[in-house]
Structure 1
């Protein structure tokens, strides 16, 4: 997945915003909270960082092409970085980014979720 494709996919998710920060990384947020980062890779190849469930963290942390996200995982957070995988892995990446979006927006207050159109009005 290219960074343009990454940005297009993240923009298609509900109530997202984009900014460039942390060394020119593409940072995607929902309700002001980060759910995906494109960049942060020192090798020059694309790297994508996202929040995962505990189960997916345990599975992915040792899989080829995935690793605990630098900085975030070292602080006990369940974030994974995908790097150096073929484009055939794009569907998996989209799944994990969608899951990250869900995990992060579920942590917002119900009021904020309603304001953003993430859950139906009460």
Structure 2
């Protein structure tokens, strides 16, 4: 029995089934990675709190580790970072499968501005 090959085939089949279901796996996987990345600092701080509780006292090293973890969590979950990450995830969605994200294929909503100079007419006499 070839376990690694079976595992690879299972992953390929699940990837294809997600594509057939009209979901784009890149966006789904990117969202999962984003959520996992944001949960890791929280889990590490919670585990550290549990270890400190079991040990019965807080050493200087554990105190520094907990404070750094809380600062990382505080900086990750500010609204501007969350908005930027969600915006970057939206750029990965490619429903038509041509390799160019759909947001980058959209036509601009505003017409391009004409090349305007300081003067309205080039042939007008200068004063």
* TM superposition score normalised by structure 1: 0.24
Q: Which has the higher helix share?
A: 2
Highest CA radius of gyration, 1 or 2?
2
**Please, what TM-score do these two structures have when normalized by structure 2?**
0.23
